[in-house]
Chain A
């Protein structure tokens, strides 16, 4: 994969343009996703990182058109899959995209599986709906899928209910379901956050192997910068509903330009730190997103902030090939590093 060569727009698998989502709540308007634009190429892995409430999940749900309307509303933007704008499809057409072309797995595998249906019936549902398989074919394919994701004695476990599976096995079953129709894109929304590290390692390893085998693109949403470091080719950093930095994984981790990315990476303990090292924490807390923010959303916590940051919101601008940052003071941040 090359990030240096400019590619014609139509060659991107997925193109998100100016995606803006708001929630109209009693307390006011929540500006959940603000003008997010990026692209995803075939069989690429994109990491989306940010803290809770930064809009990383809502932006994915908006792409899938899964946010509750009302109170939510996709105000503006385009989500183009092979050039076709998903936001303009009618409900029936969108249903055919979900699962078949873009599949999604979620954080909590217990609440995203239906507790009163067997694992088998939940996997076969998508196969019958999207692939037009009959019961027997769907059963066979489900067993095959469960075996692919590493569940032992798969054909016998089809009749099990979700509570009979452990957390890691449930996430495997979710992945089997997501892969049932060979999607082009898999959106993984914090899929390992609820799992233990040894189980997390199993799931990451599984997704990586499946990706090699099936050639799908993956959008991996997480707050864990460690997971993304080993998995993604490119990283999007989000803060307060905005995309503030995007670039190749090595660039972002080794030469972050946005003060928030610098702070986030500094907040993590490093293996080489001697005892007693203080972490480089970010003062203050993320904004609550109710009401429109003036200027750069990070300005109140930023040590580099100047007058301009308080009034004028920065836009994403390229610094290196493929590396874009939304910060007025990026040159000073880079020099300080």
Chain B
């Protein structure tokens, strides 16, 4: 496990976080197993940066985000926010911390209450935390709507009167209401059209500059993650397999899964696409209820070795600020002799 020094500019530190969902069967709801959605992840987020969390569906990226804000109770592990451990806080303490950590959700249709007006949605937290009421609250909501590029005169309207992009802006205004330090964005643009995605991503970047926000940006779209993130963590089947700064990750990925994932992303340029060679992974993602023994990637890895079926690779710093969990890197090869994957067609 990694031990990252508690440097003062680290805003969030996640240590060996686990979230298992029990599988129950039969009349007595016997506990027969666990879906290991998040299986021991560790990382830290620096103040003012954007950490991208990417992976395919079912890799546990959303569960990680939700467990950090305690929408799910962690099965094990710790989450430190500004040095204080969140993972065992009780109601009042947790409520206070939640002002500082907010979340933006994927589906702008499901994440806004259809029976509440925009004023109610954005202003709810202001009332709940006794920050502003009445005219003051209205003023603050107007200010927030302006901040996210919506006309404050729309605050009496209901969610169904807005388009997807506008709804996502409302969700963002709600997240900003309490002056948070950290926002966990869970696929904030993936439900939107391309031209609207660009609007929302630009808005996120502007707000970060203006308000000094820190983001954890969860997405499956690797090109969008590269666009917005300072550092990127790649998840596979409940674990982080690689974590480093964006340029290193995209230019010289170490983990075979990262290499395959990057090569699979289509690039909107015909000349580039023509020359590209793809690493096509065989098979599907195994079930997180029954992950493979050893390295979780061993069923699909093109450079798998015997050790990968027996020992779980450790997530270690193989180069300064470059973390990776792969036997090929840590046991057999020095990081400077990077593996070149055979191109399989």
Contacts and interface: CB of A to CB of B under 8 A. Distances in A.
A230 B195 contact: no
Chain A residues touching B, range: 35 or more
Given A271-B250, A277-B227, A282-B195, A224 B280 contact: no
B280 A269 contact: no
A51 to B, nearest CB: 4
B269 interface: yes
B227 A273 contact: yes
B228 to A, nearest CB: 8
B271 A51 contact: no
B106 to A, nearest CB: 15
A277 to B, nearest CB: 7
A168 interface: yes
A168 B345 CA distance: 17
Interface in B256-284: 260-261, 263-274, 276, 278, 280-281, 284
A282 B268 contact: no
B205 interface: yes
Contacts of B281: 198, 201-202
B220 interface: yes
Contacts of A292: none
Contacts of A90: none
A286 B193 contact: yes
Contacts of A249: 270
Interface string A71-110: 0000000000000000000000000000000000000000
A113 B331 CA distance: 46
Given A196-B56, A267-B197, A253 B269 contact: yes
B270 A196 contact: no
A154 interface: no
Contact of A51 (B195, B226, B284): B195
B165 interface: yes
A281 B227 contact: no
A279 B163 contact: no
Contacts of B224: 269
Interface residues of B, number: 44
Interface in A270-327: 270-271, 273, 275-283, 285-286
Given A196-B220, A199-B284, A229-B270, A267 B264 contact: no
Contact of B280 (A202, A270, A279): A202
A225 interface: yes
B266 A230 contact: yes
B267 A264 contact: no
B111 interface: no
Contact of A223 (B193, B263, B264, B273): B193
B202 A169 contact: no
A281 B268 contact: no
Q: Which of B194, B224, B226: most chain A Cβ within 10 A?
A: B194
Nearest to B251: A271
Contacts of B263: 201
A112 interface: no
Q: Which of A204, A226, A231: most chain B Cβ within 10 A?
A: A226
Interface in B28-73: 56-57
Contact of A205 (B202, B261, B268, B280): B280
A202 to B, nearest CB: 6
Contacts of B345: 205
Contact of B196 (A224, A270, A277, A285): A285
A263 interface: yes
B268 A229 contact: yes
B65 to A, nearest CB: 18
A224 B193 contact: no
B150 interface: no
Contacts of B220: 196-197
Contacts of B227: 269, 273, 277, 279
A52 B190 CA distance: 13
**Lowest 5 CB-CB distances: which A-B pairs, in order?**
A226-B266, A230-B273, A269-B227, A281-B198, A267-B198
13 contacts: A197-B220, A199-B284, A201-B278, A226-B265, A226-B273, A230-B270, A249-B270, A250-B271, A267-B198, A269-B201, A270-B223, A271-B250, A275-B246
Given A199-B56, A202-B280, A250-B270, 19 more contacts: A51-B193, A196-B285, A197-B261, A198-B261, A199-B284, A201-B281, A225-B194, A226-B268, A229-B266, A229-B267, A250-B271, A267-B198, A268-B198, A269-B227, A270-B268, A275-B246, A281-B196, A283-B199, A286-B195
